[in-house]
């Protein structure tokens, strides 16, 4: 399907020349002769590429305003700015506001067509990458045999058929967004939008704009996350980082089921399922005065808690196999042969959780080592200085050998138990002990058994 180019210029001759050039090159076009026509075309349907004259009928920088308006709707759309009154300051301002290219009048036709061709290619590439990322993320499963993951998968099945608000707690990189996507994908809203608003990444002055949108003086509308997610699901990630004044407005939306855009007078009613996530303990944030208790009660209709990967060691071998297969398929290479019982991997503290493990496997895939030894070296190099066996403090060296050995045995056997999800038979077989001997050892070391 041919790309669609929006051409905006108040000079009819130039507008028609550009139009003929673009059509002859195999693209579709839409035309606008002034600021209001351009605004109407943009709001009606976003183009794949826009060519904007800087000065139209509204003021000296109409094109820059239109550029900002397009970028507020979709920052990936390339905009080529043209001007007959060009200067360095104007060119710099255009590029600072996100213009793809700047060209002066009278322009070289081949140069303009080259800009358009590169802009279309750039936009298509970004669109493909976004589709690829979404498909990749959506295709990931919540993998694990630990009680925590088994329980979460069961919870997802139960709450997906409801409209309940959900709060997902867990450390960074543990899979909170994946859980939210799985809830959405399994719900009646699966074909509707899934919008993510990350409270930790927003500019402090833009929370309200990003949530509620804005009605501008020129009549244009910038839509917020609530409207973008209409009839679908909105995930507010890291809701603990949302300022208190915005928290009160979110609470009002949840209570009234409506809101007003910034500078708007009319109530906007939307049907959105809200899922929130946090890496912080919201009850502690309430005690510190950073979070509203009444908002917590509103968003926490159903709570899901995902544990750090270091507490789900039995999931690590399964995750290694899973990511090795997925990432090998994505890179179109032979499936990675990673030893899922590699001690460096199993003993690593995984502060970055599942994301850190996935990144490690992706790093291995990019380097494409030829042998298991080379894979093992990459693992060691990547994870060195982070294993508990490498973290020997002066206190460890100042105790008698018997005490140091007991400490090591306790850490070692605790890790092996977690690795085998509390299964005594499997743990005993792996460490080379009889079941009864292992029971005695665990009891002697004060290690609590679990099932």
Q: 177 and 63, same structural domain?
A: no
Residue 190 counted as domain residue: yes
Residue 451 counted as domain residue: no
Q: What is the pLDDT of residue 390?
A: 40
Q: Where are the alpha helices (DSSP H) in 74-146?
A: 88-96, 109-139
- Which residue, of 87, 113, 134, is where some domain finishes? 134
Kindly report the CATH number assigned to the domain that includes residue 28.
3.40.50.2300
Q: 396 and 328, same structural domain?
A: no
Q: What is the pLDDT of residue 52?
A: 92
Residue 327 counted as domain residue: yes
Q: Which domain holds residue 426?
A: 392-445
Q: What is the pLDDT of residue 416?
A: 78
One-character DSSP codes across 11-57: -HHHHHHHHHHHHHTT-EEEEESSHHHHHHHHHH---SEEEEES--S
Q: What is the pLDDT of residue 391?
A: 43
Q: 303 and 156, same structural domain?
A: yes
Strand, helix or coil for residue 337? coil
Q: 96 and 58, same structural domain?
A: yes
Residue 323 counted as domain residue: yes
Q: What is the pLDDT of residue 402?
A: 64
Q: Which residues partner with 53 through β-bridges? A: 82
Strand, helix or coil for residue 72? helix
Q: 298 and 179, same structural domain?
A: yes
Please state the pTM of the whole predicted model. Answer: 0.63
Q: 380 and 324, same structural domain?
A: yes
What's the number of domains the chain is made of?
4
Residue 111 counted as domain residue: yes
Q: 295 and 314, same structural domain?
A: no
Contacts within 8 Å (CB) and 24+ apart, 18-25: 18/51, 18/112, 21/109, 21/112, 21/113, 22/113, 22/116, 25/113, 25/116, 25/117
CB-CB contact of 148 with 155 (8 Å): no
pLDDT in tens, 404-437: 667 767 877 887 787 778 888 888 887 777 888 8
Kindly report the CATH number assigned to the domain that includes residue 244.
3.40.50.300
Residue 139 counted as domain residue: no
Q: 284 and 353, same structural domain?
A: no
- Which residue, of 387, 418, 433, is where some domain finishes? 387
Q: 379 and 293, same structural domain?
A: no
Q: 125 and 163, same structural domain?
A: no
Q: 149 and 256, same structural domain?
A: yes
Q: What is the pLDDT of residue 387?
A: 45
Q: 301 and 174, same structural domain?
A: yes
Residue ranges, the chain, pLDDT below 50: 387-395, 397
């Amino acid at each position: 399907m041919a790309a669609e180019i929006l051409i905006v210029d108040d000079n009819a001759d130039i507008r028609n020349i550009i139009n003929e050039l673009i059509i002859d090159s195999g693209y579709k076009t839409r035309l606008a002769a002034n600021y209001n026509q351009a605004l109407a075309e943009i709001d009606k349907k976003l183009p794949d590429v826009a060519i904007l004259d800087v000065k139209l009928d509204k003021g000296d920088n109409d094109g820059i305003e239109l550029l900002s308006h397009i970028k507020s709707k979709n920052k990936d759309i390339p905009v080529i700015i043209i001007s007959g009154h060009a200067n360095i300051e104007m060119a710099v301002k255009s590029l600072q506001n996100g213009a793809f290219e700047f060209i002066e009048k009278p322009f070289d036709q081949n140069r303009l067509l080259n800009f358009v061709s590169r802009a279309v290619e750039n936009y298509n590439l970004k669109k493909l990458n976004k589709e690829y990322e979404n498909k990749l993320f959506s295709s990931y499963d919540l993998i694990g045999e630990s009680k925590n993951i088994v329980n979460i998968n069961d919870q997802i099945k139960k709450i997906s058929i409801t409209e309940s608000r959900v709060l997902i707690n867990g450390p960074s990189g543990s899979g909170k967004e994946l859980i939210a996507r799985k809830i959405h994908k399994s719900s009646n809203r699966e074909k509707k939008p899934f919008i993510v608003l990350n409270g930790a990444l927003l500019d402090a002055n833009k929370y309200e704009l990003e949530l509620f949108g804005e009605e501008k003086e020129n009549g244009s509308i910038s839509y917020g996350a609530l409207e973008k997610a209409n009839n679908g699901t909105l995930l507010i990630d890291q809701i603990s980082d949302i300022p208190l004044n915005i928290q009160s407005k979110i609470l009002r939306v949840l209570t009234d089921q409506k809101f007003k855009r910034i500078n708007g007078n009319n109530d906007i009613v939307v049907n959105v399922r809200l899922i929130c996530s946090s890496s912080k303990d919201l009850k502690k944030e309430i005690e510190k005065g950073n979070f509203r208790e009444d908002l917590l009660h509103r968003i926490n209709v159903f709570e899901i808690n995902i544990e750090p990967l270091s507490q789900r060691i039995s999931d690590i071998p399964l995750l290694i196999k899973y990511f090795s297969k997925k990432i090998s398929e994505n890179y179109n290479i032979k499936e990675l042969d990673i030893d899922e019982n590699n001690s460096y991997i199993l003993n690593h503290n995984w502060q970055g959780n599942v994301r850190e493990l996935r990144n490690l496997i992706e790093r291995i895939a990019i380097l494409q080592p030829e042998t298991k030894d080379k894979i093992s070296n990459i693992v060691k190099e990547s994870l060195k200085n982070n294993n508990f066996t490498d973290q020997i403090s002066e206190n460890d060296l100042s105790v008698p050998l018997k005490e140091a050995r007991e400490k090591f045995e306790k850490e070692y056997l605790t890790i092996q138990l977690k690795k085998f999800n509390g299964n005594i038979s499997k743990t005993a077989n792996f460490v080379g002990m009889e079941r009864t001997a292992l029971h005695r050892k665990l009891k002697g070391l004060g290690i609590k058994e679990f099932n």
